[in-house]
Amino acid sequence: MLQNTYPGKCSGTISLEATLYRRVLPQDCIAFSSTQGRRLFKEAINSESNFMQIYFPLAEQFITQAEPAFCGLATLAMCLNALQIDPGRLWKGTWRWYSEELFDCCTSLSVAREKGISLSEFLCLAKCNGVQTEEYRASKALKMDQFRSLVKRCCSDSSEIMVLNYSRIVLGQTGDGHFSPIGGYHADQDMVLLLDVARFKYPPHWVKLSLIFEAMQQIDESIGLPRGLVILKSDVKNCLSQNELSKSMDPAAAKMVRSQPCCFGVTTIPPFHSSQAYIR
């Protein structure tokens, strides 16, 4: 019997057989650090098409989700840190920084801990934290060529990050709804690199673009709509000007979110319409 050592939880015992150390990655998913994964990475990074630009800021901020249902919150924290957005509020010690605990907004952390968050709640949190968002439901109106063009756009620059909301089932993985940012694109193989924050379960991996596209098209049963994607971009209008920045910050990098009360609800987010691919 093993002791649950995590502070803040009721202590208890659980049998070894009831616990897991990772899962075997399905055949269609190629682990980042496998021989094949390293080869794909090297080919992509050396390609003249250069769709690995977004890899660098994301690799700098890759994290493991702090709770089993925090895939959306962890993905957002990772992306906001990669976009060098200053949260304008305290994390720990004297530092301002994003981690999942800072997202007690749009939905409560206790609910997120139990159920995770929806794509709408992800959008709400992103907007509340001062990023521009461009969102697409993977309805029939969104074609694979359009998706590929968006992937290429986001991967060829360090200023925009694409986050996918998809069903793990299509990838042959256990579980269902999940969030991952795209960390790069291999044009010749038409594969994307998923920087999956559930690293206690699966390592980061390469998958065919067509497969992840199909995984996004699956219906989110909780709302009866297909899943989709969000592109995150730092919003200069919502950020403090350079003159307003604290002298303690890197003046070339920091983009502070204007202090604002949290909406504490998702009513400010326009509802998705499945007939539209591009909402805003």
Stretch that binds a second copy, among 128-136, 138-146, 160-168, 253-261 (CB under 8 A): 253-261
Cα–Cα distance, 271 to 18 (Å, whole number): 40
- The least distance separating a second copy from the CB of residue 156, rounded to whole angstroms, comes to 14
Segment 24 to 63, residues that bind a second copy, using CB under 8 A: 24, 32-33, 37-38, 41-42, 45-46, 56-57, 59-63
Q: How many residues bind a second copy (CB under 8 A)?
A: 67
Which residue among 39, 146, 200, 267 contacts a second copy (CB under 8 A)?
200
CA–CA distance, 1 with 85 (Å, rounded to integer): 44
> Considering the complex, what minimum distance in angstroms separates the CB of residue 60 from a second copy?
5
Q: Which residues are catalytic?
A: 71, 178, 196
Interface mask toward a second copy for 159-178; x: CB under 8 A: --------------------
Residue 72 neighbours by CB under 8 Å, 6+ apart = 112, 116, 117, 118, 121, 122, 165, 179
- Nearest CA to 227 among 235, 217, 236, 214? 217
Three-state secondary-structure class, residue 53: coil
CA–CA gap between residue 158 and residue 57 (Å, rounded): 7
Residue 109 or 169 having the CB closest to a second copy: 109
Q: Which helix (H) or strand (E) holds 127?
A: helix 119-128
The answer to the question of residue 241 lying near a second copy (CB under 8 A) is no
What's the rounded Cα separation, in Å, for the pair 158 and 233? 10
Q: What is the contact surface with a second copy in residues (CB under 8 A)? A: 2-9, 14, 16-24, 32-33, 37-38, 41-42, 45-46, 56-57, 59-64, 67-68, 81, 86, 88-97, 99, 101-102, 104, 109, 158, 199-201, 203-204, 246, 248-250, 253-254, 256, 259
